[in-house]
Chains A and B, each alone.
Chain A
Amino acid sequence: MADHAITEVFLDDGRELLVCPQCDALYRSRVVGKGDQATCTRCHTVLAAPRRKAGMLIICLALATVILIFAAVFFPFLTLEAQGFRSSSSLLDIALSFSHAGLRALVFLMLALVLAIPAVRASLLIYVLTPLAFDRTPSAFAAPAFRLAQNMKPWAMAEVFALGCAVALVKITELAQVSLGQAFWMFAVLVGLVVIQDRFLCSWSVWNALTKPNRS
């Protein structure tokens, strides 16, 4: 999403209608400046919030997210020492420790929410946004891919897991000496990345950029 592309799209769309997805209020779209926000006047849902250079930033963040998630699978995120015993846990260890203890459904669910869904979502965003950032024609199936990525948003729980790590840590400090592994810090960074990404991703701008070639 180069800067001029967005401006063009918004000017093109000058008289188009848009609707608030949350309350069905109808609006006439206008140019929304970079850094400004358009909110629904009755339910205050943010309708558009384009940011300068957002495309490139989101791609970088999504790439970092994918790398961090893969790293978190293999590096331990907590190390526990108690009376000569020592145990470190990576996400892979969590998965394996459950395989004999039953409750496989639980671990399956957890890996999906913590790893698979955030990783897939980040990959989809990279796939959709990269051509837009370089002002090329959108990738094939960009529209369903972006829709899927947005639908996945509530189910990507990497940051919830990070807080879970912190709570688990406090819970067992009574029992043993605990130290934070590399992956814990990776998850901590991941939380930050996810938050920034959400602030900068304006789906309104993306949809406009995606439709642009069809009209011209």
Chain B
Amino acid sequence: MERAHQTQPVLTARAARLVGCQHCAKVWPLGTERCERCGGRLASRSPNSLQRVWAWWLAGLIAYVPANIEPMLVTRTLAGTQEATIVGGAVELFVYGSPGVAFVILMASVGIPVAKFLCIAYLAWSVGRRDPSLPGPRHMVYHVVEYIGRWSMIDVFVVAILSSLVQFSAVATISPGPASLAFALSVIFTMFSAQSFDSRLIWDNLEPAEPRR
């Protein structure tokens, strides 16, 4: 009783000539356009899923370049103006004795975004060439990418908080550099990219081996 009962070894909705609602899990005959229960649009597989994934992915990658080259934080003190990029800021933190925080920043701003680009590219590429291997682990990767993407926003928030807090007119001011906006856009674009990916495609390539109805 604990589990929803499985009907066949694995019968997919599509193989049974049905379409499932991705919003509320209700099942309709194939070809139904809107879910009557929740009003969500139905699609057995999202149309052009991979193209949309790649388009957002590319947009995210393009925005990620200025995010790393341009300064993230501009600090003006009596001694002069200092500009720090994402990596530069983290290195500075590390040198001045907060390796823990430097690690968090590096993970959130470099580690996670780069890993995300690689993971999404791998998922889209493997689905594109109809790779049937390891659907379970690939689905896990997809889950993790979708869950973790938003945490990359942390550095943008830090910049915003710092620059509103440190406003001592002549003595010291911190303001956000152009990289902050570029980085925020990059995070948002990759989130869209991950959301465009239809995870059902990962499992599709297994289907020909199964009995169809």
User: Is the CB–CB distance between B40 and A147 below 8 Å?
Assistant: yes
CB of B160 to closest CB in A, whole Å? 5
Known: A98-B163, A164-B157. 11 other contacts (CB 8 A): A25-B13, A26-B13, A30-B4, A32-B4, A38-B3, A43-B136, A47-B4, A94-B160, A147-B23, A168-B165, A203-B24
A38, A40, A147: residue with the most chain B Cβ atoms closer than 10 Å: A147
Q: Does A107 contact B (CB under 8 A)?
A: yes
Given A17-B18, A38-B2, A101-B163, A23 and B199 contact (CB-CB distance below 8 Å)? yes
Q: Which residues of A contact B (CB under 8 A)?
A: 16-33, 36-45, 47-48, 78, 80, 82-83, 85, 87, 89, 93-94, 97-98, 101, 103, 105-107, 109-110, 113-114, 143-144, 146-147, 150-151, 154-155, 157, 160-161, 163-165, 167-168, 170-172, 174-176, 203-204, 207, 210-211
Residue of B nearest to A109 (CB): B184
CB of B178 to closest CB in A, whole Å? 8
Of B149, B157, B191, which is within 8 A of A114 by CB?
A: B157
Given A38-B3, A82-B172, A210 and B12 contact (CB-CB distance below 8 Å)? no
Overall SS of chain A's interface: mixed
Q: Does B150 contact A (CB under 8 A)?
A: yes
User: Is the CB–CB distance between B37 and A89 below 8 Å?
Assistant: no
- Cβ–Cβ < 8 Å partners of B7 in chain A: 17, 26-28
A-B CB proximity, top 4 nearest = A19-B20, A164-B157, A94-B164, A38-B4
- Cβ–Cβ < 8 Å partners of A48 in chain B: 4
Q: Does B21 contact A (CB under 8 A)?
A: yes
- Band of interface residues on B: 35 or more
Number of A-B contacts (CB under 8 A): 228
User: Is the CB–CB distance between A98 and B2 below 8 Å?
Assistant: no
CB of A206 to closest CB in B, whole Å? 9
User: Is the CB–CB distance between A87 and B167 below 8 Å?
Assistant: yes
CB of A76 to closest CB in B, whole Å? 9
- Cβ–Cβ < 8 Å partners of A25 in chain B: 6, 10-13, 203
CB of A40 to closest CB in B, whole Å? 8
- Interface digits, B115-158 against A, CB 8 Å rule (1 contact, 0 not)? 00000000000000000000110010001001001110111111
Residue of B nearest to A113 (CB): B153
Residue of A nearest to B14 (CB): A24
Residue of B nearest to A170 (CB): B101
Residue of B nearest to A77 (CB): B161
CB of A36 to closest CB in B, whole Å? 5
User: Is the CB–CB distance between B1 and A42 below 8 Å?
Assistant: no
User: Is the CB–CB distance between A30 and B184 below 8 Å?
Assistant: no
User: Is the CB–CB distance between A94 and B168 below 8 Å?
Assistant: no
- Cβ–Cβ < 8 Å partners of A165 in chain B: 157, 161
CB of A187 to closest CB in B, whole Å? 11
- Cβ–Cβ < 8 Å partners of A171 in chain B: 93, 98, 101, 158, 162
Of A94, A143, A172, which is within 8 A of B38 by CB?
A: A143
Given A31-B1, A38-B3, A170-B101, A211 and B157 contact (CB-CB distance below 8 Å)? no
User: Is the CB–CB distance between B25 and A87 below 8 Å?
Assistant: no
Given A39-B3, A85-B171, A26 and B24 contact (CB-CB distance below 8 Å)? no
- Cβ–Cβ < 8 Å partners of A114 in chain B: 157
Q: Does B53 contact A (CB under 8 A)?
A: no
Given A23-B199, A106-B181, A106-B184, A147 and B161 contact (CB-CB distance below 8 Å)? no
User: Is the CB–CB distance between B164 and A89 below 8 Å?
Assistant: yes
B18, B139, B158, B175: residue with the most chain A Cβ atoms closer than 10 Å: B158
User: Is the CB–CB distance between A24 and B160 below 8 Å?
Assistant: no
Q: Which of B189-213 contact A (CB under 8 A)?
A: 191, 195, 199-200, 202-204
